[in-house]
Amino acid sequence: MISWLVGSQVPTWEYMRDLFEDVENVAVYANQNNVVELIKMSDIEPLHSQVTVLIHPKNIGLLKPAYLKLRDYVAFPVFDLSVLRRLVSKKSWRGIEYYYQWEFQGGWALYDCRECESKQRAHLDVNPTDPEAEKKHLEILSSK
């Protein structure tokens, strides 16, 4: 259906919002050259199925989320386990942790938020390796 988007330059966020208007959960991932490499979509309701559009965090170095829409959540990658654990200890937060042979590879932090496009965009603009990332994410959460 939208396979023509793969291999093209990442369109604007507004264009993708219109393109995926009828899809409840979608993620578009681009490489370092800003070329779309992967599109994942899901219309199944439960949390487990909604986050199936999220890729393994170890791939974030190769593919960055260029667009992310989850019906009931805001999500962003986290590479520090202690940061992820602190975030998910807060009310309405969830986390997905990925391991390889007992070693933490990265994860996704999610919190309940319906129709929070501006917050989702802001979270994706934060560099996940920034030492101040946790602080920035919390500031975005508390912003209007």
- The pLDDT tens digits of the residues spanning 89-124 come to 988 899 999 999 999 999 999 999 988 999 999 999
Name the nearest CA neighbour of 107 among 84, 137, 135.
84
* Separation of alpha carbons 137 and 144, rounded Å: 13
- This prediction's pTM: 0.90
Name every residue whose Cβ is closer than 8 Å to that of residue 51 and which is 6 or more positions away in sequence.
Answer: 70, 73, 75, 96, 108, 110
Q: Provide the mean pLDDT of the chain.
A: 90
Task: Give the pLDDT confidence score for residue 47 in this predicted structure.
Answer: 52
pLDDT at 40: 92
Q: What is the pLDDT along the chain (144 residues), one digit of tens a residue?
A: 677 899 999 999 999 999 999 988 999 999 999 999 999 998 766 555 556 899 998 898 899 999 999 988 999 999 999 999 999 998 889 999 999 999 999 999 999 998 899 999 999 999 988 999 999 999 999 887
Q: Print the domain residue range for 65.
A: 3-142
Domain count, the chain: 1
